[in-house]
Amino acid sequence: MNKKVKVLVIGSGAREHALTWKISQSKKVSKIFCAPGNAGTEKLAENVDISAHSIHRLADFVKEKKIDLTIVGPEYPLVEGIFDVFKALSLPIFAPSKGAAQLEGSKIWAKKFMKKYKIPTALFKIIDNYEEGLKNLKEFPFPLVIKANGLAQGKGVEIVKNLKEAESILKKFMQKKILGKSGEKIILEEFLEGKEISILSFIDGKTILPMVSACDYKKIYNGDIGPNTGGMGAYPPASFLNASLNKEILEKIIYPTLNGIQKESLDYKGVLYFGLIAAKSGVKVLEYNVRFGDPETQVILPKLKNDLVEIILAVISQNLSKINLKWRRENFCGVVVSSFGYPGEFKKEIPLPDLTKLKDVLIFHAGTKKENSKLLSNAGRVLTIVAKGNNLKEAHKAVYQNLNKIDFSNFYYRKDIGKIGWC
Ligand code: AMP
Ligand code: GLY
C-alpha cells in the first residue's frame, strides 16, 4: 500500500493517546480519527463521538469516511467480535478474531488452551457452580487465587488468605453475581510467587515478534500493596530479564502459543500480550491479553524506532517476517496519575492542574475531557507521564522531578515506579 492511509484508533485511554501519538509520526498516514478519544488525542486526531462498544456504528463510520485501517485499543470490542464484523465488510482491522480473543475473554478457555499445548501456567481447577466451589476450596492451600472467567476490568482476580475470605469471594462472584455473567464460572488457581513481566508481541498468524519487555506495577500503593488496578506505571525492559530467562520464555511460552493458535486455525492479526511470572518452578503464564497493555504501551512506543503503521500493515498482509524491530537506547519510565479513590469509588470532573510546567516528558491523557477550555478528570486513570533517561535510574528521577513541580494534591500517583529493586 503506497498511498497514504486514513486510520481509526478505537478507545479513550492513555494507551490510545500513545498509539495516536506514534501513528501521527508515520509518513504513511494522511488523517487519524479517534473514537471516542480524549482531550489528549484531540490535538493529534479528529475525535469521533462513538463508543468503543458500538461495533456496528464504528463499521458504518469507517465505510462512510473510507478509512483504510482500524486499530483497536480495549478488550471489549475485540471479545465481542469487532474483527469478524469488519472482515465480513472487507474493512482492514488490526485485531484478533472473536475466536482468538477468547484467550482474554475466557480465562477457562485460555487455561484449556495452555493445557492442550503444554504451555506452563499455574495449577488450576475450573468451577461451574457455587456448591462445587465450596467443596473444592478445602482442597487448595492458601493463599489461593480466585479468578472470574470473563472480562471484569481488573476486578475479577482475588488473592485470598484463608477459607473465610475465599467463601466470601465465591459468594460475591457466584451467588451475588457482582460481575454479572463474567463471574458465573470461576477458576481456583495456585498462588505463585515471583516477578511479573509483560511481553507484548506482534502476531500475523505466521510470525510472532515480541516487543521489548516491560514491568507493570499493578497494585495501587507504593511497595506493591493494596488492591489491583489496571496498572499504575511501567518501564521497559524488565530489569531482571536475562538471556536465559528470555530463551525459556520464547521456547516454552511464545512459540508454543503461536503453534497453538495455528493448530486451532485462529485468525489473529494484532497484538498478543503475555502476562508472565518468573516463579521458582519456572516462568509461567498468568494471563493472555489480546491487545496492547496499558500502561505498557505508553513506555514501549516511545522506545520503538520503527514506523508503527508500517508494522501494522505488515501484520495485516501477513508480512511480519520482513519486519525488524529497532529500539532506542534510552530508558523510559511512565507514572499513572489517577483520581483519588481509584480503583474504588472516585469523583469525576476534578480540574487538572496546569501541566505546562512539565518539561521533556510525554503527557498521555486517559480520563480527561475539556469543558469551556478547562481540563477535567473523567475516569479512574487520568494521565500517564513518561520521562526518559540514559538509564532507568535517570528516567525514574526525571519523571518524579517533573511530577513534583505540580500540585497534584487532588490526584494520586505511586512514588516508586521504576525505582531500582522494585518489580
Ligand atoms: P490476571 O488478570 O490473571 O493477570 O491477574 C491479575 C494480577 O493478579 C496479576 O498481574 C498478578 O499480580 C495477580 N495474579 C494472578 N494470578 C496469580 C497467581 N496464580 N499467583 C499470584 N498472583 C497472581
Ligand atoms: N497493564 C495490564 C493490562 O493492560 O491489562
pLDDT tens readout for residues 156-213 = 999 999 999 999 999 999 999 999 999 999 999 999 999 999 999 999 999 999 999 9
Pocket-forming residues, ligand 2, beta carbon under 6 Å: 216, 231, 289, 293-294, 296
Range of the domain at 68: 5-97
Report the share of the chain in percent with pLDDT over 90. Answer: 96
pLDDT at 423: 59
Does 177 share its domain with 202? no
Give CA 44 to chain center in angstroms. 22
Does 283 share its domain with 227? yes
Q: Which residue has the cell 492511509?
A: 5
Query: Does residue 286 have its Cβ closer than 6 Å to ligand 1?
Result: yes
**Is 421 among the domain residues?**
no
Report the nearest-CA residue for atom 5 of ligand 1: 157
Please report the sign of the dihedral spanned by the C-alpha atoms of residue 82, residue 83, residue 86, residue 88. negative
**Is 370 among the domain residues?**
yes
The three-state (H, E, C) secondary structure of 266-324, written as one string: CCEEEEEEEEEEEECCEEEEEEEECCCCCCHHHHHHHHECCCHHHHHHHHHCCCHHHCC
**Is 127 among the domain residues?**
yes
Does 346 share its domain with 306? no
Query: Does residue 157 have its Cβ closer than 6 Å to ligand 1?
Result: yes
Mean pLDDT lowest among 222-231, 248-257, 387-396? 222-231
What is the CATH classification number for the domain harbouring 163? 3.30.1490.20
Does 318 share its domain with 394? no
Pocket test for ligand 1, best of 142, 157, 169 (most atoms within 8 A of CB): 157
Measured in Å, residue 216 CA sits from the centre of ligand 1 at 12
pLDDT above 60 (res 333): yes
Return d(Cα 172, Cα 180) in angstroms, integer. 10
Does 388 share its domain with 354? yes
Q: Which residue has the cell 489496571?
A: 230
The total number of structural domains in the chain stands at: 4
* Chain segment 8-21, per-residue pLDDT in tens: 999 999 999 999 99
Does 175 share its domain with 283? no
Domain endpoint, select from 59, 79, 97: 97
**Is 117 among the domain residues?**
no
Does 315 share its domain with 346? no
Does 342 share its domain with 316? no
What is the CATH classification number for the domain harbouring 19? 3.40.50.20
- Helices assigned H by DSSP within 171-250: 243-249
